Amino acid sequence: MLRAVLLLPFTYFLLPIHPTPMNQERTLPGHLTAISVIIVWGTTFVSSKVLLNNGLSPDEIFLCIA
């Protein structure tokens, strides 16, 4: 019984989704936003790692960017 209660919140993600044309129109902006956020985050992460490896401190990086 406890196992079923613990798994209940996660069963929502296991339900099959059959997109209708209205749902497909709604998902495109969300996917584009998610992809752009991933690209921006990844770029700033790599840039920060490069700056840290070249001797800048986190404080210097923050003050240069802000």
pLDDT single digits (tens) 7-65: 555 555 555 665 555 555 678 888 899 999 999 999 999 999 999 999 999 888 888 76
What are the angstrom distances between the C-alpha of 24 and each of 10, 32, 33, 59, 61?
23, 13, 15, 44, 41
CB 55 within 8 A of CB 61: no
pTM above 0.85, yes or no: no
Three-class secondary structure of residue 40 per DSSP: helix
- Note the pLDDT of residue 13: 57
